[in-house]
Structure 1
């Protein structure tokens, strides 16, 4: 039972770290790269979709870059501190994938951004796991 609790705490900490970096840095880059475009006041799917359509491509690239970096850091941390058990990192990757798919279905991102959002989950998580296993050796 203690092992399960420790594993879930590691996955939760990895998810928190990745969200902090991915969302926080993504918001900062988006605001910096899309000056003059105000965020919607409500989190309605239609308003968010219109907002995303108004953003320049550089703002979308900044969001994707920071989300990928967050996923790499989260899986790196979980893999690094999990006694060399990749199952926890793969569980975190499944959470990322579910979140990306949910986000794409919740708000219309357009085809290119939707594909990029879903397609980057596995490579970013895999890179984080590989970096962690290399730093162990």
Structure 2
């Protein structure tokens, strides 16, 4: 089961990568769906199970949820960064995500900077 998240999300920076709350929410939903999918659940049942799981972990929290375009961009940037970590070249990332080469470098640099700041603040 995903860990319980203790801090509410905050839209402190419009350019911040995928927030910890959103990552946690994805993990909670993924766990819930994986558990229910083995039972040949209907799409409606899967959706209900996901909502129950999110509410069980995050119920009562005040969290910021970005609008669709911002969320899609954050998810794309996170996927691009993970592909970069896995070894895809800059050119492969440009082709896969249909963004400019400079934008790929910007996304990677922002992710690396965020990871350094997060590790520094958490004491890792």
Structure with greater proportional helix content: 1
Give the structure-2-normalised TM-score. 0.31
